[in-house]
Amino acid sequence: MNEIQDNTVDTQDEMSGILSDFSQFYILLLLSEGPKHGYGLIKEFRNRTRKTLSAGTVYPFLRKLEERELISKVDMSGGKRSKLVYSLTVEGRKFTDRLFQRFASMTASAIEPSLDVCVSCGVRIYEGGYHEEIKGQLLAFCCSHCAAAFKRQQ
């Protein structure tokens, strides 16, 4: 196995030991945006996904992340209730960067076959784009300027 394959296997093992479902991935996404307290994670998850995330899911996962030194917590209590704020550590930031790169790669692999490619410049068109019929064929372009450039080359 080469070094890249070894790294992929290591990353897969590391991630499978920490992540078991989408909600955990999303908790890491929220923490990557900045420090959050547990209830803040639950509330933000609900606002963005319209799904309920229980405290029984959030807090054990936060403990696991803390045990692995991927997050740290600070007590920001100001009254009767304790308010623990969780932040990614340097190692946690590295972990989430690897995780998100892998997710982006998987997403790109899934989406890429359905993308149009600009006939003129070769850029992948994720949404919108410009379509024009040229010589009886409907062609995809990223913009009208590429369509005009393509027609000049014909």
Do 14 and 55 reside in the same domain of the chain?
yes
Alpha-carbon span 104 to 132, nearest angstrom: 31
DSSP letter assigned to residue 114: G
The CATH number of the domain where 74 resides is what?
1.10.10.10
pLDDT tens readout for residues 86-123: 999 999 999 999 999 998 988 888 888 888 899 999 99
- pTM for the whole thing? 0.65
Do 87 and 34 reside in the same domain of the chain?
yes
pLDDT tens readout for residues 30-87: 999 999 999 999 999 999 988 888 999 999 999 999 999 999 999 888 777 778 999 9
pLDDT of 4:
43
| Element (DSSP H or E) covering residue 131 | strand 130-134
